[in-house]
Structure 1
Amino acid sequence: MSTAARVRIEPRGLSKHDAAAYIGISATKFDQLIADGRMPAPKRIDGRVLWDRFDLDAAWDALPTERAANPLDNFLR
């Protein structure tokens, strides 16, 4: 099979470092989000600790969206 024909398989389980990178934050910040419940707890497979990519997606979707500033807000105050 040629290199061009290979299919990339995305892992479902991610290490803490990879899970933090997937979300776009440092591992330290990721630990904080786990502690306060904004990111999911990991799953354990024997000695491996992994985060489910789908759980990370759900946690990401549940984070609040910052509302864009409306120029009329200052005018109406």
Structure 2
Amino acid sequence: MAKARSEASLPAVMPITPPRGLSRLESARHIGVSATFFDQMVRDGRMPQPKRVGARVIWDRVKLEAYFEALPEEAEVDAPGRGWEDWR
């Protein structure tokens, strides 16, 4: 039996792509912190605010990664006058 045209054009192995929207727990896990510490980071601006999609509150994975990339390196935080409060 012949395959439908759309099935024939699909690759044998579909690439796995991570979800773009992450829950609070997934977001915290994604950046490597506890959910409670993640909440604190959102409140103080070190992590982005979430988006609301229907009843769900989700974080954009790409934006999380950009905020994570912008966090200071450990040596920068330990320098005099360069604490977290100065980062904002």
TM-score, length basis structure 2: 0.68
- Of structures 1 and 2, the larger Rg is shown by 2
Opposite residue 57 of structure 1, the aligned amino acid is E
Aligned mate of 1:52, from 53, 56, 60? 60
Match of 1:40 among 48, 57, 67: 48
What is the aligned partner in structure 2 of residue 12 from structure 1? 20
Report Cα offsets for 1:4-49 as digits up to 9, x if no partner.
8232121000000000000000100000001111000000111111
2:31 alignment counterpart: 23
Q: Distance in 2 between matches of 1:66 and 1:28?
A: 21
Gaps in structure 1 of 5+ consecutive residues: 69-77
Once residues 56 and 15 of structure 1 are traced to their aligned partners in structure 2, the CA distance between those partners, rounded to angstroms, is: 12
Tell me how many residue pairs correspond in the alignment. 66
Please give the TM-score of this superposition, normalised by the length of structure 1.
0.77
Looking at structure 2, the residues matched to 58 and 32 of structure 1 have their Cα atoms a distance apart, in angstroms, of 18
Q: How many percent identity over aligned positions?
A: 52
Mapped partners of 2:70, 2:35: distance in 1: 20
